[in-house]
Structures are given as structure tokens and as C-alpha cells.
Structure 1
Amino acid sequence: MLVAGIDIGSGTTKCIIVDGDGHVRGRAAIRTKADFEKVSQEVLEAAKAEGGLANEEVAYVATTGLGRYAVSFRDIQITDLTCGARGAATVVPSTRYVLDIGAQCSRAIKLREGGKVKEFHMNEKCAAGSGGFLERAAKYLEVTVADIGPMSLRAGKPQAISSVCAVLAESEIINHISEGVSVENILRGIHNSLADRALSMLTRVGLDGDVTLIGGVALQEGMVAALREKLGVPVHVPEHPHLTAALGAALLGLQRLRKMSMATAA
């Protein structure tokens, strides 16, 4: 029995396939396209291929993320808050708070027992607190997204980015470039700014324990370093942080399928 969790985000669509014991059998991530149905099918096939499951049938599909309602072959849709919480608590059992920095928005989640959401706070009014802002900054600075993390770590004197508005922050970055500030110092300044926003969100949900960072931005070493410096609590990063919500969706889908099977058997 195989269950798939598909997370359709604004930047990337991810898929995790688990077996009946909850073990990961396949995983994949591809760029999100305008056709959510098509990209979901593509990432599912990619995850099956990655796990050598091309000839096996997926019994149940759980979707989450921005496009979770747009997939006709889904069996259930689950909020990304719920999936991110479950996935983070599964891979890092000591997790008390989840920080999810995605391409479109950021969120801080306080957990209760069982990896369930107790309280949360979101920043979705301005892109300056999201991964999408980092991508645009990379274009201005003429570096790849993959280079952002290691370059940020090499900063000697981080340049503060004080604007809370994405448009103004971009203007601030351009000004720093014209003043000759190094790319490394600008990038670390951006990471520090994101870390400040994260601290504000986490404080609102009562930060006092371990944080697990998920989402694509967690792949950037400089962002992780900035958070560990700012938060003052242990910050954990899963092996595949960008796939955490997809994992949560798959596990919750498996849980639902088991309940349905038990009800049918009874």
C-alpha cells in the first residue's frame, strides 16, 4: 500500500510517497506551473520513478499547499499548517515550534502533543518576509539562489536591511550595491532581516523551545546561521526541509486511509 503527499507551493511542487508502515519510498520536487493538476501528476510520477515504483499503484493521495484544491485525483486535501506541523514533528521529535519560510509567505507554528497545531502566526502581507524576496534579491545581485547561502556565510560586516516593505527593501539593496557594499554583506543583511521577522512571529506564539525550520529557504546555510544567532534556542533543519509538508500530507493521508480501512472491516 502506497500513499502520496503532494505539496503544491507557489514556487515548487513536492511529493513524498510512503508505504503502509510510514516509511518514505520515493520523493521529488519540481517547479510549480500554472496547471496545478498537470504539475501534481508530473511530480507524483517523478517520485515514483525516484523510488523505483513506476509499476506500483498509489492507493491514496493527499494534497496540501496553495494548489491543494486544484488536483482532481486527490482523495483528501489538508492545510499546509497541519501538514508542516506533522512532518516537522515526525522528523524532529523534539520540535515545539515550526518556522516555515516559503516562497510566498512565512509562518510560525506552536505545536501540542502529537505534532498538532496549537497556535500560529503568519506573515503574508508583504513578500519581504518570504523566500520569493530572496529570489528577487539574487537577480539584483546577479547570483544564483544556490549561491545565496554560502555567500551569506562569508559576510564580514552584514549590511542591515531596515525596510519592512519588499519594494522599499529592493530599493535599499540597489542603493547598497551602488555604494559598493559587498554582495556577501548584503545577503547576510537580508538573512538577518528575515531572522528578525521570524523572531517576531515566533515571539507572538510564545517561543520557549526547540524550533524546526522547514521550507526551501532552510536549504540556505546563511539563513540557518542567522536564525541560530537571533533566536537563542536550538534550531533544527531536517535532511529534506523543503519536503516536510509533503511528508506530513503523506503521513496524514496514511492515517486517514487506515481509519477508513478499519471502518470498512468493522
Structure 2
Amino acid sequence: MDYIGIDIGSTAAKVVARGDHELEFALPTGWSSKETARTIAGRLREDGIDVSRETAKVVATGYGRVAVDYADYVITEITCHARGGREMGSDDCAVIDVGGQDTKVILISRGVVQDFLMNDKCSAGTGKFLEIMANRLGVDLGELFDMAEKGETLAISSLCTVFAESEVINYIGEGRRREDIAAGVVDSVAAKVAQLAMRKELPDQIILTGGLSSSRYFTKILSQKIGKTVSPTDYGRYAGALGAALLAREKTMRAAAKNR
């Protein structure tokens, strides 16, 4: 049996398989979540997993979860990210997920979600804002972090992506160093994520998931803002998909136990 977790986010789709096959992959979501879901099914078929057969159980989550018409279960992002984060962290931890369009803070106690927060849709404290700013500076995300580490932070105070981008454009027009602008951009996002997280009492273990989760520099800045260590996770971008795959297995096993 294969247990498949599909997390279709606003910018990227992540897939994790556990069971007879062990794999994971990511691809851009593109303009159509339905088209992405079909592409994922084809890619899985190439790897020996046929989602139309009884030998595969699928849980879909994320922004485009309803587009996965072959899913056996559709589960919210909070539940799936909590399950994946618990696997990477512990039964008592906080998961901070910085996604393309939103940021989530999930508090887990004794393996169960106790509370969660999400940012406003228009907030600039997301991964997409970093991508936009990196493009403005003519670099990729990794290069943005490298530059930021060498720069002196310039203040970027706007809460809205459009106005924050205007601030960056003004700095560029003034001839400010790219390193300093990059430092300001990263500091701005980290500050907004920290403000959200600090609205709750955070446990000692805090892990970062999402597209920024492998950045040691971002987690260092975020840790400074929060006043507690935030741990990066190399596998963190797959947290939602991993949680979905684990939940697919758990739900299947519970259903089988009931039918005995």
C-alpha cells in the first residue's frame, strides 16, 4: 500500500509518498491547481504509483486541495502541517510555516493542535514577498540571503506588499547598496513573522517549515526577533505533504481496524 500526501500551495505543490514507495517531489503550482493535480498523478504513475487503484490512499491539503479529485481525504493545512511538524519536531512544539501567500503559527501540545494563528492575506510577511524583492534586486532567493548577511539593515516598515515594494524601489533609486536593501527585506519579513508568533506563548522547541525552512540565516534573524531558538528543517518545505501522507496511513489503518 502507498500513502500519498499532496500539498498544493499557492506557488508550489509538494508530494510525499510513504509505504511501498518512498519518494517526494515538488513542482510549481502554475495557474491551475486542477492541471497541477493531473500532472502529479502522471508523475506518480511514472514512479509506479497509480492513484486510481486501491493500493494507493491519497490525502490532499493546501490552497488547491479541492482540485485533487482523486483524493480519498481532504484535510486542512493546519492539521497536516501540525502532523508533519510533529514528526520533524516533537509532541510539544511550535511550527512556524512561512508559505507563499500566508504564514501559520501552530502550537502542538501532547501531539495535538492546541492553537494556531494565520497572518492577514495582504501582509508582506510571506515567502512571496521575498521572491518579489529578490527579483527586484536581480538575484534568486539564496543570493538574497547571502547578500543580506553582508549588509546593514535598512528599515522597511509597510505592512502591505505593494507599499513595501515601493520602499525598496525608492532605496534602489537612491543608489543604496543591494546588500543593505536585502538585509532590510529579510529583516522586515522576519519581524512580521515574529510579531505573529509572539502573540502566543511559545514552547521551547520551535521549528520552521515552508520554503524558507532550510535557510540558516533567516532562522537566525527570526530567532533574534522572537528571543528563542527557531530551528531550520532541511525537509521543512514538505511538512504539509508529509503530514498528509502520515494521516492517509493512519486513517486507512483505523478504517481497516473498524472493519475487522
Tell me if both proteins adopt one fold, taking TM over 0.5 as the criterion: yes
Partner of 1:211: 206
CA contact (8 A) 1:107 1:120 kept: yes
RMSD between aligned residues:
2.0
3-state SS of the aligned residue for 2:201? coil
Residue identity opposite 1:181 in structure 2: R
Farther off after superposition, 243-252 or 229-238: 229-238
3-state SS of the aligned residue for 1:104? coil
Aligned-residue offset at 1:54: 5.3
CA contact (8 A) 2:145 2:186 kept: no
- What is the alpha-carbon distance in structure 1 between the residues aligned to residue 147 and residue 138 of structure 2? 12
Aligned-residue offset at 1:10: 0.4
Partner of 2:192: 197
3-state SS of the aligned residue for 2:159? coil
Structure 1 residue 41 corresponds to structure 2 residue 38: yes
How far does the alpha carbon of each residue in 1:169-198 deviate from its partner, in whole angstroms, 9 at most, with x for none? 111101111222222221221211112112
Partner of 2:225: 230
- What is the alpha-carbon distance in structure 1 between the residues aligned to residue 44 and residue 168 of structure 2? 38
Aligned-residue offset at 1:47: 5.4
How far does the alpha carbon of each residue in 1:138-191 deviate from its partner, in whole angstroms, 9 at most, with x for none? 121111233222222222x11121111211111110111122222222122121
How far does the alpha carbon of each residue in 1:187-218 deviate from its partner, in whole angstroms, 9 at most, with x for none? 22121111211221111121242211001122
Structure 1 residue 10 corresponds to structure 2 residue 10: yes
Determine what percentage of the aligned residue pairs are the same residue: 33
Gaps of 5+ in 1: none
Farther off after superposition, 189-198 or 3-12: 189-198
1:1-266 pair list within 5 angstroms: 1-19=1-19, 25-46=22-43, 53=48, 58-93=55-90, 96-114=93-111, 116-155=112-151, 157-265=152-260
Aligned-residue offset at 1:44: 4.5
Residue identity opposite 1:33 in structure 2: G
Shift in alpha-carbon separation, 1:106–1:44, aligned structure 2, 3 A: same
Residue identity opposite 1:246 in structure 2: A
Residue identity opposite 1:212 in structure 2: I
Shift in alpha-carbon separation, 1:55–1:120, aligned structure 2, 3 A: closer
- What is the alpha-carbon distance in structure 1 between the residues aligned to residue 30 and residue 37 of structure 2? 9
- What is the alpha-carbon distance in structure 1 between the residues aligned to residue 193 and residue 230 of structure 2? 12
Residue identity opposite 2:24 in structure 1: R
Residue identity opposite 2:173 in structure 1: S
